[in-house]
Amino acid sequence: MLHPSYTDLMKVVNKDVEEGETKIVNSRYSIVLATSKRARQIIDGELPMVNIKSEAKPLSLAIQELNEGKLKIIAESAAAEEEEQAFEEALTEEVLEEEPLTEEIPEVEAATE
């Protein structure tokens, strides 16, 4: 059995949501997706945000991070907005770093007859 339980994890994630607002996590599926994504990050070399036991598995670490509030789940629409904003900022910086186009315009003499 998973400790803490899914319901306990959902309470931790939704603790800052006021009554009447949409909850961040409504299902076990969201918890599973978030913890599995974080476990993959740990496997790929990211450092855990909690104290580790030498035998702790990446998924156990991800669950512990979520339970201690060190891991935050962002709604998909909010994540997409943040990604789009970061892309626009990077694009703006890239445009600002480029040298302005200055092209010499050849002089044209009018032909007089």
Q: Going residue by residue through the chain (113 aa), what tens digit of pLDDT does each one get? A: 457 888 888 888 888 877 778 888 888 888 888 899 999 999 999 999 888 777 889 999 999 999 998 888 876 666 656 666 776 777 666 555 555 555 565 666 666 55
Burial of 63 (0-12, 13-18, 19+ CB in 10 A): buried
Question: Is pTM beyond 0.75 here?
Answer: no
Q: Which has the closest alpha carbon to 63: 51, 71, 53?
A: 71
| Rg, the chain, Cα only | 26
Q: CA–CA separation, 28 vs 36, rounded Å?
A: 12
Where does 6-97 sit in CATH, by number? 3.90.940
- List the chain domain ranges: 6-97
- Give the rounded distance of the alpha carbon of 79 from its chain centre: 6
